[in-house]
Structures are given as C-alpha cells and as structure tokens.
C-alpha cells in the first residue's frame, strides 16, 4: 500500500499457496442444520403414534376373532345377525386401515383426521354392539378398555376429552335403550370405571410422550454437541496450522528482525482470533464483519498507531466464517502497512452492495515507493483474488492513497471447494 515490503523470497509464493487450504474449515455450521436437528424431536411422538396404530390394527383383528369365538362357542346363544354384520363391517374397515400408508399419514393433518374418525367409529361400534348384545347384560362394553388407550395415545388433549365424553354418552345411551333392566348403582359404577380409565390412560400416555420427547431432545442436543465439537476441533487444527505457516513465512523473509516477525505474526493471529471470538458468541457459522474489523484494527492501533487514529465505519455485513477469517487477515495486513508507512488517519469502510462486499482502506500517505510486492501484499492478493474470487484496486484519492477490495458474497471460495 505504501513503502512496499521486501520482495518475496524465491519459492515462498508456492509455499504461500499452501496457506489458504489450512484456513478453510471443513464447513460452517449452518443455522438451519441445527434448527432441523432440534425440530426432529417431534419424530418420537409420531413414532409412538405409528406403533400404536400398528398395535391397534393387530388388536382389531384379535377383537374380531374374540367376538366371533365368543358368539360361536357354547354355552352362549347364537349371535344375532346384526352382530355378524357389525363384525364383518369392522373386519373390512380394519383391512382398509391396515393398507393405508401410515408412515406418511401420521405426521400430516389428514392422518390426524383419519385417526380421530377411527377412534370415534370404534366408540360408536362398541356402543352399537353393546346395544345389540343386550345392553346392560352384554359384555361387549369391555372392548372400551382397548379403545380408550388408543384414544389417549393418538389424540391431542382436546380430542381426548371429547372422545372420552362420547364413550360415556354412547355407553349410557346403548344401555338405556336396550330392553334389559339397568341397576342404577351398577350403571354408575361402570360409568365411573370408564371415566377413570380414560383419565388414567390420558395421564399414562402423557407421561410416555413426555419421556419420549425428553429423550429425543437429549439425543438431539448430544448430536449438536458432537457436531459442534467436531467443527471446533477442525477449526482449531486448521488455525494452528495457519499460525505455524505464517510464522514460517515471516521468519524466512530476507532481512527479518525478530521484533518485526513477532509484531506481524501477532497481528495475523489476532485477526483469526477475532473471527472465532465472534463465532463463539453467536454459536453459528456466520459472523458480522464490522465488529471483527473494529477489534482487529483496534489491536493494531494499540501497538502501531503512535498517536494516529484508525476509524471503521460502514455497514454490518454477514459472512461465512472462512470468508470473515480471510477478510480480517487482508484488512489487518493493509492497516498494518498504512500504520507503518502511511500518514494521517486510517479510514476503513465496510459496505454491503447487493451481492458483494466492498472494503476501502485509505490514509494520507503517498502510496508504495516502488512496484515490488512484499509478503504482506502477496498475502492480501492471495486471500482476496484466489481465496474469495475478489478484486483489488489501488488509487490516489483526496491527496492520499486508497486500496479498494470487492468480494462477491453468496458463493464458496475455490479453495474451500477443493480442499474440504
């Protein structure tokens, strides 16, 4: 940007090309991935309902078999034709229900509507069989103890209340309309037993559902923690390699002095650290660039400003973590050069312009003294042009010098695609 750094030693350009792959992480944690993982906790509830549907279909066949056996075996009297009609209708309905694609239906509203209709039909079927079978003397009412758990598991709380009331009302009507004499005390006991069974089944079902959802949430959180831990380990490995490469490159530069090596490398490490501090606070794979640049140039100003000022202004632009790392490194290099070789206030401007990021670093210096490209300039060009498909332009502006960087957003850098 101003007085150029010493030319890059032979062979270092090739070695510099190895830096970019080490910067690239295996991939950022996309916020939607985390959100989708957590959203899957609804899966166990659907899995429970699916298992109950399968059990209900099996119990439907068992119930049909029991009714048939109970009607044919002595000492019972032969069943009335209406019972056989109801049993046949139940068998056909059970066959149709068994052939439905329940894994696809259960999570959707149409599946919930079918389950509610099924439950109501079972309640009315048992009431009808109870009426045809003799009312108070019929034992078909015991089938409600298979219907009630089915309702408790498959229906939401509001539907459970309505269907529970339907059980009591349907049984009461079936018994009262039948010709058999009904003892009031016995009827009250049976209605109380049915009501108690409905409440108990609802409580047990809720406990089972809560436990299933708690396990699902714990498993989802464990998966997220594993993913985040893997991502953190990978980033740490890459950034340790990046630090080692930067140290090696700076130390190998012709005429390097220890203090200069330390200062330059510290600046680069702080640029990377600022990105990951922001990532740690946000807990996701995208960061806002401007606070990172403010932190980076603030740290540089503390060591290099010597009474000069560095100002950052502009937009809050979000980037992927790899883009933010490379951008922070590039800005750090340019601001370091401006503070060492330029004059006056250093202005850093951040702007989001449509689908691209634009950065401008300007001061009142006269620009580079010759055309040679030092290690810092080479690193900036490598990061921006090859790492992020960006462009770099320099110009004189208002009696000073400005470097303008344009980086397209919304696309993955070539090195990121190649080296993942």
pLDDT one-digit tens code per residue, 196-217: 999 999 999 888 888 877 887 7
Query: Does 240 map to a domain?
Result: no
Query: Does 248 map to a domain?
Result: no
Query: Does 204 map to a domain?
Result: yes
Structural contact between residues 209 and 41, judged by C-beta atoms closer than 8 angstroms: no
Q: Which of 169, 202, 221 is the last residue of a domain?
A: 221
Q: Are residues 19 and 42 in the same domain?
A: no
Instruction: Write down the pLDDT at residue 9.
Output: 35
> Is the pLDDT assigned to residue 76 strictly greater than 50?
yes
Q: What is the pLDDT of residues 280-334, one digit of tens each?
A: 555 456 778 888 889 888 888 887 878 888 999 998 888 887 788 788 888 988 9
Contacting residues for 122 by C-beta, under 8 A, at least 6 apart:
147, 150
Q: Are residues 65 and 23 in the same domain?
A: no
d(CA 186, CA 106): 39
Q: What is the pLDDT of residues 217-245, one digit of tens each?
A: 788 777 767 766 776 666 666 666 666 66
Query: Does 109 map to a domain?
Result: yes
Q: Are residues 410 and 274 in the same domain?
A: yes
Using alpha carbons, select from 169, 155, 142 the residue that is nearest to residue 201.
155
Instruction: Write down the pLDDT at residue 12.
Output: 34
Does the pTM surpass 0.85? The reply is no
- Both tokens of 416, joined, read 């990121």
C-beta pairs of 296-302 under 8 Å, 24+ apart in sequence: 296/267, 296/270, 296/271, 296/328, 296/331, 296/332, 296/335, 297/331, 297/332, 297/335, 297/346, 297/348, 299/267, 299/270, 299/274, 300/267, 300/270, 300/332, 300/335, 300/336, 300/339, 301/339
Report the SS3 class of residue 115: helix
Query: Does 170 map to a domain?
Result: yes
Total residue length of the chain? 420
Q: Which of 166, 198, 221 is the last residue of a domain?
A: 221
Q: Are residues 21 and 59 in the same domain?
A: no
Range of the structural domain that residue 263 is part of? 12-27+253-419
Q: Are residues 270 and 185 in the same domain?
A: no
- The residue assigned the tokens 């700076």 is 250
Using alpha carbons, select from 164, 285, 274 the residue that is nearest to residue 228.
285
Structural contact between residues 401 and 339, judged by C-beta atoms closer than 8 angstroms: no
- Both tokens of 132, joined, read 């045809």
Q: Are residues 74 and 214 in the same domain?
A: yes
Q: Are residues 337 and 362 in the same domain?
A: yes
> Is the pLDDT assigned to residue 273 strictly greater than 90?
no
- Helices 43-72 and 144-154 cross at an angle (nearest 10°) of 170
Query: Does 125 map to a domain?
Result: yes
What are the helix (H) ranges across 178-314?
A: 184-252, 258-282, 289-304
Q: What is the pLDDT of residues 55-64, one digit of tens each?
A: 888 888 888 8
More confident residue, 180 or 177: 177
d(CA 358, CA 335): 16
| Mean pLDDT computed over every residue of the chain | 77
Mean pLDDT of 22-42: 41
Q: Which of 221, 238, 269 is the last residue of a domain?
A: 221
Q: Are residues 54 and 19 in the same domain?
A: no
Instruction: Write down the pLDDT at residue 5.
Output: 43
Q: Are residues 47 and 115 in the same domain?
A: yes
- Both tokens of 306, joined, read 């010597």
Q: Are residues 22 and 44 in the same domain?
A: no
Mean pLDDT of 390-410: 89
Q: Are residues 21 and 71 in the same domain?
A: no
Query: Does 234 map to a domain?
Result: no
Q: Domains in the chain: how many in total?
A: 2
Whichever domain contains 370, its CATH number is 3.30.565.10
Q: Are residues 213 and 290 in the same domain?
A: no
Contacting residues for 31 by C-beta, under 8 A, at least 6 apart:
284, 285, 286
> Is the pLDDT assigned to residue 31 strictly greater than 50?
no
Using alpha carbons, select from 380, 377, 359, 379 the residue that is nearest to residue 369.
377
Q: What is the pLDDT of residues 80-117, one digit of tens each?
A: 788 889 889 989 998 999 899 988 888 888 988 998 99
Question: 17-21, 69-73, 160-164 — which is least confidently predicted?
Answer: 17-21
Structural contact between residues 309 and 363, judged by C-beta atoms closer than 8 angstroms: no
């Amino acid at each position: 940007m101003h007085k150029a750094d010493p030319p890059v030693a032979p062979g270092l350009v090739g070695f510099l090309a190895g830096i970019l792959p080490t910067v690239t992480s295996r991939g950022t944690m996309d916020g939607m991935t985390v959100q989708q993982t957590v959203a899957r906790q609804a899966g166990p509830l659907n899995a429970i309902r699916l298992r109950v549907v399968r059990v209900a279909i099996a119990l439907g066949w068992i119930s049909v078999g029991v009714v048939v056996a109970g009607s044919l075996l002595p000492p019972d009297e032969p069943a009335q034709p209406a019972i056989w009609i109801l049993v046949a209708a139940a068998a056909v309905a059970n066959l149709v229900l068994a052939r439905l694609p329940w894994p696809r239906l259960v999570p959707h509203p149409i599946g919930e509507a079918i389950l509610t209709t099924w439950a109501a039909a079972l309640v009315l079927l048992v009431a009808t069989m109870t009426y045809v079978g003799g009312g108070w003397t019929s034992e078909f009412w015991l089938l409600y103890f298979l219907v009630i758990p089915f309702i408790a598991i498959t229906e939401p709380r509001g539907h459970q209340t309505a269907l529970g009331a339907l059980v009591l009302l349907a049984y009461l009507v079936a018994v009262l309309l039948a010709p058999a004499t009904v003892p009031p005390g016995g009827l009250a006991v049976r209605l109380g037993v049915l009501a108690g069974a409905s409440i108990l089944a609802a409580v047990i079902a809720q406990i089972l559902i809560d436990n299933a959802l708690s396990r699902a949430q714990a498993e989802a959180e464990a998966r997220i923690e594993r993913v985040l831990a893997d991502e953190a380990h990978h980033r740490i490995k890459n950034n340790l390699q990046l630090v080692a490469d930067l140290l090696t490159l700076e130390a190998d530069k012709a005429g390097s002095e220890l203090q200069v090596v330390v200062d330059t490398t510290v600046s680069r490490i702080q640029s990377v650290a600022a990105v990951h501090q922001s990532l740690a606070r946000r807990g996701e794979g995208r960061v806002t660039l401007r606070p990172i640049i403010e932190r980076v140039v603030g740290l540089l100003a503390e060591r290099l400003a010597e009474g000069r000022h560095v100002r950052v202004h502009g937009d809050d632009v979000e980037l992927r973590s790899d883009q933010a790392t490379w951008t922070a490194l590039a800005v750090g290099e340019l601001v370091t050069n401006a503070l060492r070789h330029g004059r006056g206030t250093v202005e850093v401007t951040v702007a989001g312009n449509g689908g691209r990021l634009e950065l401008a670093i300007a001061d009142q210096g006269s620009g580079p003294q010759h055309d040679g490209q030092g290690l810092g300039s080479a690193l900036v060009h490598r990061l921006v042009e090859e790492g992020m498909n960006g462009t770099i332009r320099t110009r004189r502006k208002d009696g000073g010098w400005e470097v303008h960087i344009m980086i397209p957003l919304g696309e993955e850098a070539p090195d990121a695609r190649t080296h993942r």
